[in-house]
Chains A and B, each alone.
Chain A
Amino acid sequence: MSSESHPATTSQPTGPQERSQRAAWVVAGNRTPFARSGGQYASASVQELFTAALEGLIARAGLAGERLGAVAGGAVLKQPRSFNLVRESVLGSALDPQTPGIDVQQACATGMETTSLIANKIRCGQIEAGIAGGVDSASDAPIVVGEGLRRVLLQLNRARSTADKLKALSKLRPGDLAPVAPGVNEPRTGLSMGEHQAITTAAWGLTRQAQDEIAEFSHHRLAEAWESGFFDDLVTPFRGVTRDTNLRPDTSMEKLGGLSPVFGTSLDTEPTMTAGNSTPLTDGASAVLIATQEWAAERGLPLLAEVLDFETAAVDFVDGHEGLLMAPAYAAPRLLARNGLTLQDIDLVEIHEAFAATVLAILAAWEDAEFCRDRLGLEQPVGAVDRRRLNVHGSSLAAGHPFAATGTRIVATLAKELKARAVAEDRPVTGLISVCAAGGQGAVALLRAYPGN
């Protein structure tokens, strides 16, 4: 300490609560085209996919050689050897190898949670810039051995003498040799996600017609976005794939109407959920660059949208009290209330289309006075969403849904669209994202774009 006396300055923070929060901005986004599983990316690992998404983002933003505060990502289906997936991807990228990597997993909301993590690190002043993302490949899913074989192998590993080894092997039964594919069924109910949604679909009385309309709209809007070049600065081709392979620009109500129901066929009600209004297994990766205003300005990067706030909800679906994929219906009203907003203040709404019926069920719940009163504790219903503001460039039914990659796909898409509208309309424009996830969870986020930079 110098001997000079310093007056107590207000610039010295006395506690964390006195540090002012900084805004975190989405400044760029990138993803691979999404491909139906078992197709063009069948031999690509999740690490290759995530590295590809990073490389495209690094090139677009000119980040080669830069040390970022953190890269957060994750995959739902991940082989044990990929425990450090994100850090390994960073090392294989053009980023400064001194950039840390964090693996995160919250099922289909992984991309939402990584966005929240990076944005919060920035808001807390821990980092200046970071990348949030997610990746999944049902083609690169881990295949595990059955429980019987696993026990035998472990015992064999412990055995010292030949006799002990033979003894261990003698316990092996032919049935133990069958590999076990990864399950996406809910462990506590044994039901697949589709079967869970089918129960919710029936409970809300959602029609086949309404679901197919959502699917048709999604394909047509996504196709228009591709045609107009909207994705030119949001997607980088990978392995020769230049567009989402699940996209069917020419689909129609007639074609969708011809598909047979695949979920809810054992329920008492008429089954309505088909392969056309449900998302297929998909491979792909996505990432967004989030930074402070100063960091972006130094590099001449645009401030697409501010990451305002996040909320995650979870519902008790195990005893059938609530539908598996209904948590966003709970999370969004809490998020809006915390930010002094109503659904009517939202300019653009993105609801992840796990199934067309998921979107419809959430929309119906928000309009339902009884649900809003009994489940959400609200005196007034949350209200209706103007369909012209919903999933304006299509969503997962058309693009596909590589679980962990969906969140950051939507964040990047919405941020770009919000910015374009803010500039065109010369006013701040706010967007809401809703992503449902396994385990009865749901993540929602608020983004806002401004006309200036």
Chain B
Amino acid sequence: MSRSRPDPTATARPGAGPDDAYLGLVSRGPGRKLATSLGLPAPVDLRRHDPTRPLVPGPVLVLSRRSSPGAGPAPGEQDEDAAALARHLVDRGLEVHRHEDEVPSIGAVVLCLTDLETPSDLTGPALELGSVLRKLAPGGRVVAVTRPARGVALGAAANLTDDTLSDTAPEAAGADTGETAKEGEGTQSSRTGAFSGVVRNAARQGAIAFLRSTAQEMRGGVTANGIVVADGVPVTAPSVLGGLDFLLSGRSAFVDGQFLVVGSAEGEAPAAGGEEAAPLDGKVVVVTGAARGIGEQIARLLAAQGARVVPVDVPAAGQALSALANDLTTASLSLDVTAPDAGTRILEHCRSRYGRIDGIVHNAGITRDKMLANMDEARFASVLSVNVEAPLRITEQLLADPAADGLRVVGLASTSGIAGNRGQTNYAASKAGIIGMVAAMAPLLAARGGTANAVAPGFIETEMTARIPLARRQVARRLNSLQQGGLPRDVAEAIAFLLSDAAAGISGQTLRVCGQNMVGA
């Protein structure tokens, strides 16, 4: 007689693909052959997280400047960072190689570029990566590990504060690791100290666009991303290793051409062995706008990863919110995020029910698209009110209480907030506001052991995007390196990672989940 209760993670299962007929047609069989011969986009089903499958679809090749042929390690030179990354991957139970001729097929390439000193240092590893790309299995990964550079922002807001970026004082930066400092002196002997920083910055910035271009050349659902490790932070920092796990795994399926920026060595190193089953175990996390769409998938995924989710939505969405809360065996909270006391009520709910609050995902958002010439105040103001003013007010109210120490904040930005979008002046302003919010909030939260980050989704297959006219929708889907829309689950995976202990060294950043959308920024 008992009611069969749906698996709360049911909609987050692998294979639950988008309602994309074109993808279904060309992802395999004769349709694929035809599309390829006609030069049409040929997207494939992405490799998404599946606990029954390994972290990567084959052995991992760890490359670095000093491992590349012809530029092998000079006598006495160490290849410490690459070796440390390789050790971590071995600890993960993966088959790791340092030379491509050792393996016929490769699941992922980790490119350690932390020691670039001049632009030409990139040549060796770049060409070695190029020579192995054909060996990459479908759904494979390229992950570069680099050091930050001054220049055009890395991602939406992948900037670091001056104290974590020391291009003019490499000796100071390497002071923690005496070995590195010595190497630095060796390679810069022919340059003055000040200008060597300029050369290094050029090399580092070069690595960024190198990787982004590589990502655009990948096929078969292969993605290429990077991890930018702040100067002074070792590559063995928890968030570097945790970020590496995330980018190698199926959890980052729709993250492409992006950089995770690790600003500190904070966080808890991911445990050895396989992936953690419940990385958010016991954390009390509020998700606004949870009744449907991306918010519902966020709530379900966080719950599946062990979080005690507090799903929040407007009273009018109460029926769907109740169904979700009951599925997740949690308590719902009906409130309008624009209410003046919304943050206080959220805090009160979390405190009385759980005695704590560990995180909040500001997912609630609306669109009121109109060309600026036709825009009215109601449309413009309401979008700002829900999408950015509410997250600001709620977070401010939460932070007024000591219970919010260690709070992990994730905002929902958008690729529209990075590049702008025709017809979305209001929406883009609000989403860029989120990018600005988390960037400036990071230091405030750092003082209390918390983080603030944002996720910027590109084209995601939701009820909302399903209402876009067919032709426009088909075009929008193909305008990224993976040539398809992402799933709500892809956004949720990125958010879950940013809420995890392993991501405690990442703050103030905006991570795009857009399949490397050509946003024109």
Contacts and interface: CB of A to CB of B under 8 A. Distances in A.
Contact of B315 (A91, A93, A232, A299): A232
A229 B315 contact: yes
Contacts of B331: 59-62
Interface stretch (B184-192, B223-231, B334-342): B334-342
Interface string B322-361: 1111111111101110010000000000001111000000
Contact of B326 (A64, A229, A233, A235): A64
B325 A59 contact: yes
Contact of B332 (A52, A60, A65, A302): A60
B319 to A, nearest CB: 5
* Residue picked from A62, A64, A65, A229, most chain B C-beta under 10 Å: A62
Contacts of B325: 59, 62, 64
A397 interface: no
B319 A236 contact: yes
A94 B315 contact: no
Among A59, A232, A233, A239, max chain B CB count under 10 A is at: A59
Interface string A97-136: 1000000000000000000000000000000000000000
Contact of A233 (B2, B3, B334, B354): B334
A182 to B, nearest CB: 28
A436 B440 CA distance: 60
A300 B322 contact: no
Interface string B1-35: 11101000000000000000000000000000000
A238 interface: yes
B449 interface: no
B324 to A, nearest CB: 8
B353 A59 contact: no
Contact of B353 (A65, A231, A300): A300
A56 interface: yes
B332 A299 contact: no
Q: How large is the interface on B (under 10, 10 to 19, 20 to 34, 35 or more residues)?
A: 20 to 34
B403 interface: no
Interface string A311-346: 000000000000000000000000000000000000
Nearest to A60: B332
Given A62-B353, A64-B329, A97 B334 contact: no
A97 B5 CA distance: 11
A381 interface: no
Contacts of A61: 331
A58 interface: yes
A55 interface: yes
A229 B336 contact: yes
Contact of A62 (B317, B319, B330): B330
A64 B3 CA distance: 12
Contacts of A52: 319
Given A237-B317, A300-B353, A58 B3 contact: no
B326 A232 contact: no
A229 B314 CA distance: 11
A328 B326 CA distance: 38
Contacts of A299: 353
B298 to A, nearest CB: 17
A260 interface: no
B327 to A, nearest CB: 8
A162 to B, nearest CB: 41
B318 interface: yes
B319 A300 contact: no
Contacts of A62: 325, 329-332, 353
B346 to A, nearest CB: 13
A236 B321 CA distance: 9
Contact of A237 (B315, B327, B336): B315
Contacts of B334: 60, 232-233, 236
Contacts of B317: 237
A58 B322 contact: yes
Interface string B285-319: 00000000000000000000000000000011111
Which of B5, B326, B332, B336 has the most A CB atoms < 10 Å from its CB? B326
Contacts of A251: none
Interface in A238-257: 238-239, 242
Contacts of A92: 3
28 contacts: A55-B322, A55-B323, A55-B326, A58-B326, A59-B323, A59-B331, A59-B332, A60-B332, A60-B334, A62-B325, A62-B329, A62-B330, A62-B331, A62-B353, A65-B329, A97-B3, A229-B335, A229-B336, A231-B315, A237-B316, A237-B319, A239-B319, A242-B315, A299-B353, A300-B352, A300-B354, A300-B355, A302-B352
Interface of B: 1-3, 5, 315-319, 321-332, 334-336, 339, 352-355
